[in-house]
Homo-oligomer: A and B are copies of this chain.
């Protein structure tokens, strides 16, 4: 047990959990319009090229490029207009030397043509003849067949998180139903004899359940399926009964509260009694969020999160959401994508990562991170913040003017 009580860094905690945890093995097929924010279960490849034909990107005239070489305002290249391309139709005929066909943006090039001259670079002499005033090279103003997506190309890889543009890609290759990883089911339990439902008016010594709702929001925003299991008393039997049920019904479990030392020990004992390998670490070297228990029960991650709302949310951001979004811990270069100038000095302890709530604003074009001060028990400090700045473990503090990496929250 000795090693368990050694506080882990975030990186270590991810490695330890990643070795045992697996979410997202179930897959399902959903209609294209429901695929946003889901993870692809399989590689998607294109059966046919996109577009399926050489396509004009301009209103103008389809031509053979070589017929325009040397053309200029003073010496236009004269071409016979022998046809017109209609939108959505195959060109009826063949474009010969010295000929031009009218073509709209998006139209299909007639066989024989290899470029399009913009209408602005032509002069109409009569209804059958144009003068081209600028030369074009083969392929000019044309999207070639397969230029967007080649036939047989891998369009998107398994595991990819589908964004709006990816729905466009899937539409382009005609995927009306998309194979995706099932949304992880996340069970949320609050513990504590002092905690009451938000709909109750708290009596003396009681507080409303904040964590279940904040965690529900984080889990839902990450594209998983949260379910609130309510408040459970801080004793071995109650906790064990509830946890057994929730672990049976969910893919991942968040237990929050029980931040006092005794209660944490009860939670750890319960977790060790319910499956293998049980508790993997006890404490992480971050502030806020230190009193975190990480466990895996038969492949399902179970987190004992701190009771303070800010601490619970920070640990959820760092250890839970990556697992829900990607099914594993990736090295995500965009996890803390915003670089901002800190507005004041902040102390930190070496050997501990600090996560500071900040209010981001822009000053002279530059992002500034203004720390939101206050205890980690105050949810109002999270509501005032719109970012979380990371102070690396090796620093003893940061000074006003230092640059910090920030995650938007």
Contacts and interface: CB of A to CB of B under 8 A. Distances in A.
Interface in A193-215: 193-195, 198-215
B379 A307 contact: no
Contact of A377 (B36, B57, B175, B308): B57
B106 A168 contact: no
Q: Which of A195, A198, A385 is the most central at the interface, judged by chain B CB atoms within 10 Å of its CB?
A: A198
A32 B216 CA distance: 10
Most buried by B among A195, A214, A380: A380
A260 interface: yes
B205 A334 contact: no
A383 interface: yes
Nearest to A339: B339
Given A87-B234, A377-B57, A192 B143 contact: no
Contacts of A232: none
B88 A193 contact: yes
A10 interface: no
B169 A379 contact: yes
B206 A156 contact: no
Contacts of A204: 52-53, 89-90, 108
A333 B360 contact: yes
A107 B209 CA distance: 15
A221 B155 CA distance: 22
A147 interface: yes
Nearest to A261: B59
Contact of A334 (B210, B375, B386): B386
Interface string A249-270: 0000000000111100000000
B174 A217 contact: no
| A32, A55, A168, A408, most chain B CB atoms within 10 A | A168
Given A193-B87, A362-B333, A377-B148, A168 B214 contact: yes
A24 interface: no
Question: Could you say which of A200, A205, A333, A361 has the most chain B C-beta atoms within 10 Å of its C-beta?
Answer: A205
Nearest to A174: B198
Interface stretch (A15-23, A70-78, A93-101, A158-166): A158-166
A165 B360 contact: no
B198 A408 contact: no
A165 B214 contact: yes
A204 B209 CA distance: 61
Nearest to A207: B51
A307 B143 CA distance: 14
Given A87-B192, A89-B204, 19 more contacts: A32-B213, A37-B221, A106-B192, A143-B378, A147-B375, A148-B380, A163-B409, A164-B221, A164-B313, A166-B383, A168-B213, A170-B213, A171-B198, A171-B210, A171-B213, A172-B198, A172-B208, A333-B361, A337-B338
12 contacts: A33-B213, A36-B220, A59-B262, A104-B262, A167-B217, A168-B382, A170-B198, A172-B379, A173-B208, A333-B360, A333-B361, A334-B360
